[in-house]
Amino acid sequence: MKRSLSVLIASVALALAGNVTAADFKACFVYVGSKTDGGWTQAHDIGRLEAEKHFGGKVETVFVENIAEGPDADRAIERFARSGCDIIFTTSFGFMDPTLKVAKKFRKVKFEHATGYKTADNLTSYNSRFYEGRYIQGQIAAKMSKQGVAGYIASFPIPEVVQGINAFVLGAQTVNPDFKLKVVWVNTWFDAGKEADAAKALIDQGVDILTQHTDSTAPMQVAAERGIHAFGQASDMIAAGPKTQLTAIIDTWGAYYIKRIEAAMNGTWKSQSTWDGLVDGILTMAPYTNMPDDVKAMAMNTEAKIRSGDLAPFTGPINKQDGTPWLKAGERADDGTLLGLNFYVQGVDDKLPQ
């Protein structure tokens, strides 16, 4: 008994010693999903690996995946804070309050929370203007659709998703003012079965372009099977539909992670609230495929204009869904309004769940 115990302790000590690496900086990531989900979490994990590669052996990265939002997140974040992480990235909206709680307790550790709105001295919030890509998608959809109707598989009626739906419709209207958009809410970020069912239902209702704000590749597969076009989300989904994907919004967090880890290492890290877009490289468009050259040229032109700041998707005149004016001609929506967006613009064929 005693002997086996000492063997146990020795082997554990050995393993722990083996765990110590030469890295002098530790960046830790808390994921809500699986790092191979093909969408949201995978995009973050690609960013993590890019950062690790960029810094050579100087930065050690650690992650924990499939952490449920709620009390479990508190514990996972706190475990990281206690285990010597210098900076902790938490990559789901639901991690906001847990991150804030732990950040208050561990003042020396730096925290970064994605897609939320709360900050503290040692807590930054960061997000991406996904809607810029949706605007381009809307334009492409209006050019490519024969029926003039697209389908939108939506997750939850939060501002981020509502921005995407509105931007898509606004983009489409620049090409075809009568363009219609049908929306199905599946109330999940990731459920291949539900997403596929929704895709089929939308196609059966006559849409011939599909876009999704959910993370599985199932809708892309269904679109491929039914022979219509679709847009990918969060990661390049071309593998699921080589003849189907027109383009995809790709979350490219790597550049941001490198920037922030660097700042934390050389002491220039400051708490902030960033909302970057195409121009900052936090968001990129997958190659424009399966479309005629003129459509491709239009898309690239729009992308360039958004990058240069000449074009902002939410620029007046824009009416709300019921026809009441929202933005005057030339007026741009401010970030505050966008971050709390809870209404549709004119032309969306759906009632926003309240």
Partner 1 sequence: MQLALVRRQYPSRVLSVFTPFIAFGLTLLAGSIMFAAQGLDPLVTLYTYFVEPLIETWSLHELAIKAAPLILIGVGLSVCFLSNNWNIGAEGQFVVGAITGSALPVLWPDFANFATLPLMLLFGVLGGCAYACIPALLKTRFNTNEILTSLMLVYVAQLLLDWLVRGPWRNPEGFNFPETRIFNDAAILPELFSEYGRANWGIVFALVAAIGVWLMLRKTLKGFEVQVVGASPRAGRFAGFSSSRMVFFAFGLSGALAGLAGIAEVAGASGQLRPVISPGYGFTAIIVAFLGRLNPLGIVAAGLVLALTYLGGEAAQIALGLSDKVVRVFQGMLLFFVLATDTLIHYQVRVTGGTTAGDSRGDR
Partner 2 sequence: MEIAENILLTIATASTPLLIAALGELVVERSGVLNLGVEGMMVMGAVCGFVLTATTGSPWLGLIGAVFAAALFSLLFGFLTLSIATNQVASGLSLTLLGLGLSGLIGEKFVGIAGQKLPSLYIPGLSDIPLIGRLVFGQDPIFYISLALVVGVMWFLFRTRAGLTLRAIGDNHESAHALGIGVIRARYLAVLFGGACAGLAGAHLSLVYTPQWVENMTSGRGWIALALVVFASWRPWRVLAGAYLFGGVTIGQLHAQALGVGIPSQLLSALPYLATIAVLVIISRNRRLTLLNTPASLGRPFVPNR
> Of residues 115, 221, 245, 290, which one binds partner 2 by CB under 8 A?
221
Contact range with partner 2 by CB under 8 A, out of 2-10, 44-52, 120-128, 191-199: 191-199
CB distance 321 to 348 below 8 Å:
yes
The first and second tokens of residue 156, run together, are 């939850």
Give the one entry of partner 1, partner 2, none that residue 304 binds, where binding means its C-beta sits below a cut-off of 5 to 8 angstroms depending on kind: none
Q: How far apart are CA 278 and CA 28, in angstroms?
A: 26
Beta carbon nearer to partner 2, 108 or 351: 351
Q: Which of 23, 54, 97, 280 binds partner 1 (CB under 8 A)?
A: 97
Question: 325: cis peptide before it, omega within 30°?
Answer: no
Q: Does residue 339 touch partner 1 according to CB under 8 A?
A: yes
CA distance 232 to 300: 17
Can residue 78 be called a binding residue for partner 1 (CB under 8 A)? Answer: yes
Question: By C-beta, is 10 or 239 nearer to partner 2?
Answer: 239
**Tokens 């699986």 identify what position?**
34
**Does position 66 bind partner 1 by CB under 8 A?**
yes
| % helix, strand, coil for the chain, step of 5 | 45, 20, 35
Contact segment (CB under 8 A) with partner 1 among 50-58, 70-78, 228-236, 314-322 equals 70-78
| Site stretch for partner 1 (CB under 8 A), options 67-75, 244-252, 266-274, 290-298 | 67-75
Residues of this chain, 148-177, that bind partner 1 according to CB under 8 A: 156-159, 162
**Phi (first) and psi of residue 266, to 5 degrees:** -100, 15
Give me the DSSP letters along 193-254. Answer: HHHHHHHHHHHHTT--EEEESSS-SHHHHHHHHHT-EEEEEES--GGG-TTTEEEEEEE--H
State the DSSP string of 302-336.
HHHHHHHTS--SSBSSEEBTTS-EEE-TTPBPPHH
Of 192 and 311, nearer to partner 1 (C-beta) is 192
Q: What mask of x and - would describe binding to partner 2 in positions 250 to 279, judged by CB under 8 A?
A: ------------------------------
Query: Of the two residues 20 and 329, which places its CB atom closer to partner 1 in the complex?
Result: 20
Which amino acid would we find at residue 334? D
342 touching partner 2, by CB under 8 A: no
Binding-site member from 217, 290, 302, 321 for partner 2 (CB under 8 A): 217
- Residue 36 interacting with partner 1 (CB under 8 A): no
Q: How many residues bind partner 2 (CB under 8 A)?
A: 39
Q: Which structure tokens are listed for 110?
A: 């730096």
Mind giving me the DSSP string for 202-219?
A: HHHTT--EEEESSS-SHH
**Residue 62 interacts with partner 1 (CB under 8 A): yes or no:** yes
Q: What are the b/e assignments for 226-257, b being 16+ CB within 10 Å? A: eebbbbbbbbbbbebbeebbbbbbbbbbbbbb
Region binding partner 2 by CB under 8 A among candidate stretches 3-11, 51-59, 84-92, 197-205:
197-205
Binding range to partner 1, per CB under 8 A, among 125-133, 168-176, 244-252, 335-343: 335-343
203 binds partner 2 (CB under 8 A): yes
Do 155 and 189 meet the contact criterion of CB atoms below 8 Å apart?
yes
Stretch that binds partner 1, among 63-71, 219-227, 254-262, 283-291 (CB under 8 A): 63-71
- Which of 23, 49, 64, 175 touches partner 1 by CB under 8 A? 64
Q: Is 205 in the site for partner 1 (CB under 8 A)?
A: no
Order of strands across the sheet with 245-251? 283-285, 245-251, 229-234, 209-212, 149-154, 180-185, 348-349
Which secondary-structure segment (H or E) carries 283?
strand 283-285
Phi then psi dihedrals of residue 281, to 5 deg: 75, 10
Q: Is 193 in the site for partner 2 (CB under 8 A)?
A: yes
Binding residues for partner 2 (CB under 8 A) = 34, 36-39, 42, 151, 182, 184-187, 190-198, 200-206, 216-218, 221, 225, 239-240, 349-351, 353
